[in-house]
Structures are given as C-alpha cells and as structure tokens.
C-alpha cells in the first residue's frame, strides 16, 4: 500500500490525479494515520527537491485538486504545518548554502576503511582515517569505504569513479557503490550520468553505472527516490530494482539478474557482472560445474577459475541474444602448456552426450593451440542448429606467458570474437560471422577446456586459468537494431 500511496502523492503534487485517483488518495489518508504521516513527509521532501533543482520540464497549467476534509485534523492542516516548518528551516539552510558552481571548502568526508584498494596513479595518497576534500576518487580495484560529514557511508567497489560534492552529496561516474544512510543524513543524493539522480529517503541502496552509462539502482531497505532529467520521479522501496533502458526508467519487484529459464520468452534486461573469483569456491548462485571425466577438475585459486581436462563452467542465468539484445563476454585466460584448447559457448545446451563428447548445441568461440604447425587458431563455429557459410578462423600470435585476452559479442544475427595476447602492445585478431538462423534461445553460457591426450598413451593434463570474467547483457542500441526488430518493451 505504501508504494501506491507514494505514486498517488507524486501525481497529486504534479496536479495529475484523476477524480477516481483523488478519491482513492483521500480514502487512504482518512483511514490510516501512517499514510497521513507519509503524505506529509513526501510533500516536504518533494518541495525541498524542487527548491534545490527546479524541474526543467514545462508543466501544463493545472489546478491541484483539493482534498476533502475528514474528522480530526485534515491532511492539509498537517501538510501546512510541515510546510511552515520547512520554510523556516529552508530559509536558514538555503541562505548559507554555497553556490553549486563553487568548490566546497574543507573536508567533506573521511576514508573509513579499504581492502585491497588500488587507486589511480595520480590519486592523492589515501590513508584510513584521512580527511577527504570534495573531488574524485578513482578506484582501480578492491574496495574503499567513505564516510561523509553527514554520516552517510558509501562503499566503493573497484573499478569505480566517484566524486564527493559536499557533506551529503556525491556523483557516480562509473562502477558500483553501496550506500548506507542513517536518519541524520536522510536526503543524501547521488548524481548519475545523463542527468539522473538518486535521493535517499532513509535507506540502504546500491547504484551501478557501467562503461556505456547504463545504470541500475537496487534498494536494500527503506526508500529511494530516482529522478530523471525531465523531472520524472519513481520511488523504490526495499527489494525493488530500477534500471534505465533506452532513456526510460523501468521499475521491477524482481531481480533483473534472474533471467528466464530455457524455453521461456526472453525479456530485455540489463545485466553487468564481473567475477574475480576471489573466494574459496565458485559462487553457486552464478555458476555450476560439470565434470564428465574422473580426472576433470574445476576449482578456484588465487583469483582464477582453474579448469582441467574437459571441465565445464556453466552459468546459472540464461541469456537470449537477438535483434534487440546483446550479450558481451570479456576476460583473460591462461594456458598451462602449448597443447591447450579453450571453448566458450553462448545460447548453449551445455551437457555433452558423454565424457569425450562436446556441447550439443550453441554458438562456439574457441582457441586451439594444438595445431599441426603449432600456431594457435581462433574460430567461430556453430553446433546443432547454428550455421555459418563456413568456419570463421584466423591464426593468433602465441604470447610467451600463454595469456590471452578476449571479447565476445553475440547479437543474435551476428557475432564477433576478438582475441590476442594479454600485453599492452598486442594486436588482437577479430572474427565476424553471420548466423543462420538467428535463433533467440534463452540458454546458459558455457566455458570449457578439452581433454588431455593428443596421441594414444599421452598423459597431458590440459589446464586453463580463467580470470577477470565480465558478462554484460543489455538492450541493443536502437541504431543497431535490424529494421524489423521492435523496440524493447517495459517488462513490467
């Protein structure tokens, strides 16, 4: 009911309530004192937001409907009292407020803690307990915790770029932050790319911005107000998620990372996930292991997933690349020897028919170093119903450290595979293939290495170390969609 009250209140404040909705709001306020308190709270907060940053949209001329009085103090009495208190407080607050275009003088926060934190080279030396002035924090890796003067606490998860604006205000440019706001810091604001912003209403929440400025907000407890540059507002409550798709804010009650099972209708969602394999075992919420041979192994070791002798790493989530969706994988893998063979499949039926069989169906991206001339070869190929005009392949330079960096993009009708040595001066190879037919199947990702023996009697143990794995699943930019592809729809 609180979510519905918030929606009605915001429409009321914008003068957009229908007569039926006005009656519904009056009933809520008449019957529940908590609803009346919430109405006053939201009215005051909305007024503060509009004073700080007036909406840039052109509002139609409307007359705010009058709420009918009920027995006892009317809601207008309560709201008026709150607004009078606000006016007195705001006079003192805004009179002394510094101009937004001038830098904040003096420390605005302190560095409360950090764990394996690596900051940009030009970043001022960071020491736990040290004061922080307004300005950016560029965290390349690890975690850092900042406590603002207001008592709001922000955890930065690298890589992340976060700007401290003032005592109760910051800006997230890239990466992920997790925010805890005590009662004293209610109103803590995070500016986001594209003119969006998240305003705390007393809560814990997380915000993520990826490399192409897509954003995701998740509320752990309490409430958060998210505002678009056009003045559109959405209030999230505990457990809700909001993400931006093609400029629209989409609100859901379920986790956008929980994608549909095989055979279900795929939906457009944003998913950005990096696994640094820093635990003692695989995250069972993300992965499962398939070990078809007695000597197959899959373990986590020092930030890598180690696959030995036909081990399969299979995603729990399912992804359906297509005309309006893009699946992108990137990471680094390292071979233990010069006879190794690595395969990554999208839209896959993961289980092989036997211990020496291959994945039954899927779009396969592979690197084979066990070739006749000893030169590694990269390939894109189809299994099962996936077809090309022919195998797409090219030789790849073999680095001395046997480390390769890769990027895979599956766009439903086309796919690209970029791979090369994991060195700064390397020139990678890029393969591009058209897929026929462009099947839109919601299926797992499979990462797999091959068995050991290249000749009868050989006892070669093929081992691959996988690290820095990132999966991105997102709407395909409108300009890149086929003419016949519909625009993504609001999944709610």
Question: Mean of the pLDDT values across residues 236-264?
Answer: 62
With respect to residue 102, please indicate whether it lies within any of the assigned structural domains: no
Instruction: Tell which of 223, 252, 281 closes a domain.
Output: 252
With respect to residue 61, please indicate whether it lies within any of the assigned structural domains: no
Most confident stretch, 228-232, 304-308, 380-384: 304-308
Determine which of 35-49, 259-273, 398-412 has the lowest per-residue pLDDT on average: 259-273
Encode pLDDT of 181-194 as tens digits: 988 888 899 999 88
Question: Mean of the pLDDT values across residues 108-132?
Answer: 82
Domain match, 388 and 453 both: yes
Question: Mean of the pLDDT values across residues 54-58?
Answer: 39
Instruction: Tell which of 252, 287, 303 closes a domain.
Output: 252
Question: How far is the C-alpha of 401 from the C-alpha of 335, rounded, in Å?
Answer: 8
Under DSSP, is residue 127 helix (H, G, I), strand (E, B) or coil? coil
Contact, 408 vs 427, CB < 8 A?
A: no
Domain match, 278 and 242 both: no
Q: Provide the pLDDT confidence category of residue 247 given band limits of 50, 70 and 90.
A: low
Question: Mean of the pLDDT values across residues 22-38?
Answer: 76
Residue 67 has pLDDT above 50, yes or no: no
SS3 breakdown of the chain: % helix, strand, coil, rounded to 5?
A: 15, 45, 40
Question: How far is the C-alpha of 207 from the C-alpha of 192, rounded, in Å?
Answer: 9
Residue 285 has pLDDT above 60, yes or no: yes
Burial 315-328 (b: 16+ CB within 10 A, else e): bebbbbbbbbbbbb
Encode pLDDT of 148-184 as tens digits: 999 899 999 877 899 999 999 999 988 889 999 988 8
Q: What is the pLDDT of residue 286?
A: 80
With respect to residue 491, please indicate whether it lies within any of the assigned structural domains: no
Q: Tokens 């950005």 label which residue?
A: 272
Question: How far is the C-alpha of 23 from the C-alpha of 381, rounded, in Å?
Answer: 62
Residue 254 has pLDDT above 60, yes or no: no
Q: What is the pLDDT of residue 190?
A: 96
Give the orientation angle of helix 33-52 with respect to helix 2-13, to 10 degrees.
Answer: 50
Domain match, 112 and 240 both: yes
Domain match, 151 and 223 both: yes
With respect to residue 474, please indicate whether it lies within any of the assigned structural domains: yes
Residue 75 has pLDDT above 50, yes or no: no
Higher pLDDT, 299 or 385: 299
CA 90 to chain centre: 36
Residue 114 has pLDDT above 70, yes or no: yes
Q: Per the structure block, which two tokens stand in for 229?
A: 């540059």
Question: Mean of the pLDDT values across residues 343-370?
Answer: 83
Domain match, 413 and 315 both: yes
The order of strands in the sheet holding 287-290 is 287-290, 312-315, 446-449, 341-352, 359-368, 377-383, 392-395
Question: How far is the C-alpha of 264 from the C-alpha of 252, rounded, in Å?
Answer: 18
With respect to residue 260, please indicate whether it lies within any of the assigned structural domains: no
Share of the chain above pLDDT 70, in %: 71
What does DSSP assign to residue 482?
A: -
Domain match, 39 and 123 both: no
Residue 72 has pLDDT above 90, yes or no: no
Residue 34's H or E segment, with its range, is helix 33-52
Structural domain count of the chain: 3
Higher pLDDT, 267 or 379: 379
Question: Mean of the pLDDT values across residues 376-389?
Answer: 84
With respect to residue 264, please indicate whether it lies within any of the assigned structural domains: no
For the chain, the average pLDDT equals 75
Q: What is the pLDDT of residue 440?
A: 67
Supply the pTM of this predicted model: 0.47
Residue 84 has pLDDT above 70, yes or no: no
Domain match, 284 and 382 both: yes
Domain match, 437 and 301 both: yes
Note down the domain range covering 42. 2-56+66-95
Q: Which residues contact 425 (CB under 8 A, 6 or more apart)?
A: none
Residue 76 has pLDDT above 80, yes or no: no
Domain match, 176 and 201 both: yes
Domain at 426, CATH number: 2.60.120.200
Instruction: Tell which of 217, 252, 287 closes a domain.
Output: 252
Domain at 149, CATH number: 2.60.120.1440
Q: Strand 463-475 to strand 325-335: parallel, antiparallel, or no bridges (unpaired)?
A: antiparallel
Q: Which residues contact 211 (CB under 8 A, 6 or more apart)?
A: 174
With respect to residue 166, please indicate whether it lies within any of the assigned structural domains: yes
Domain match, 200 and 297 both: no
Domain match, 47 and 114 both: no
With respect to residue 490, please indicate whether it lies within any of the assigned structural domains: no
Q: Per the structure block, which two tokens stand in for 46?
A: 């909305």
Question: Mean of the pLDDT values across residues 340-362?
Answer: 81
Question: Mean of the pLDDT values across residues 219-246?
Answer: 83
Domain match, 334 and 293 both: yes
Share of the chain above pLDDT 90, in %: 22
What does DSSP assign to residue 107?
A: E
């Amino acid at each position: 009911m609180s979510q519905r009250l918030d929606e009605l209140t915001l429409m009321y404040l914008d003068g957009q309530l229908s007569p039926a909705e006005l009656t519904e709001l009056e009933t809520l306020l008449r019957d529940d004192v908590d609803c009346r308190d919430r109405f006053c709270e939201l009215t005051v907060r909305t007024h503060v937001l509009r004073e700080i940053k007036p909406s840039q949209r052109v509002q139609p001329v409307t007359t705010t409907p009058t709420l009918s009085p009920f027995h006892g103090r009317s809601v207008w009495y309560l709201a008026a009292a709150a607004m009078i208190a606000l006016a007195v407080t705001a006079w003192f607050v805004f009179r002394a407020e510094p101009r937004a275009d001038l830098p904040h003088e003096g420390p605005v926060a302190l560095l409360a803690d950090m764990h394996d934190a690596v900051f940009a080279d030009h970043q001022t030396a960071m020491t736990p307990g040290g004061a922080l002035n307004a300005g950016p924090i560029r965290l390349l890796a690890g975690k850092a915790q900042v406590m603002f003067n207001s008592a709001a606490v922000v955890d930065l998860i690298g890589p992340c770029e976060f700007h401290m604006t003032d005592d109760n205000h910051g800006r997230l440019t890239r990466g992920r932050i997790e925010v805890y706001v005590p009662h004293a810091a209610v109103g803590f604001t995070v500016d986001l790319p594209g003119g969006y912003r998240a305003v705390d209403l007393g809560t814990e929440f997380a915000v993520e911005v990826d490399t192409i400025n897509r954003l995701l907000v998740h509320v752990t407890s309490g409430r958060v107000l998210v505002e678009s540059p056009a003045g559109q507002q959405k209030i999230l409550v505990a457990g809700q998620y909001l993400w931006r798709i093609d400029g629209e804010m989409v609100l859901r009650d379920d986790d956008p990372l929980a994608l549909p099972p095989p055979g279900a209708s795929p939906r457009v969602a944003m998913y950005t996930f990096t696994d640094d394999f820093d635990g003692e075992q695989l995250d069972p919420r993300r992965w499962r292991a398939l070990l078809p041979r007695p000597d197959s192994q899959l373990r986590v070791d020092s930030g890598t997933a180690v696959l030995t002798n036909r081990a399969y790493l299979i995603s729990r989530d399912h992804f359906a690349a297509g005309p309006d969706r893009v699946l992108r994988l990137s990471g680094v893998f390292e071979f233990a020897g010069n006879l190794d063979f690595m395969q990554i499949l999208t839209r896959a039926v993961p289980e092989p028919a036997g211990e020496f069989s291959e994945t039954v169906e899927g779009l396969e991206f592979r690197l084979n170093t066990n070739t006749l001339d000893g030169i590694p070869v990269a390939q894109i190929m189809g299994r099962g119903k996936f077809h090309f005009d022919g195998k797409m392949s090219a030789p790849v330079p073999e680095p001395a450290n046997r480390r390769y960096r890769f990027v895979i993009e599956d766009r439903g009708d086309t796919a690209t595979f970029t791979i090369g040595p994991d060195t700064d001066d390397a020139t990678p190879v890029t393969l591009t293939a058209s897929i026929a037919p462009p099947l839109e199947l919601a299926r797992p990702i499979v990462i797999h290495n091959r068995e050991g023996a290249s000749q009868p009697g050989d006892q070669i143990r093929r081992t691959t170390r996988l690290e820095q794995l990132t999966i991105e699943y997102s709407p395909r930019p409108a300009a890149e969609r086929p003419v016949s592809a519909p625009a993504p729809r609001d999944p709610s």
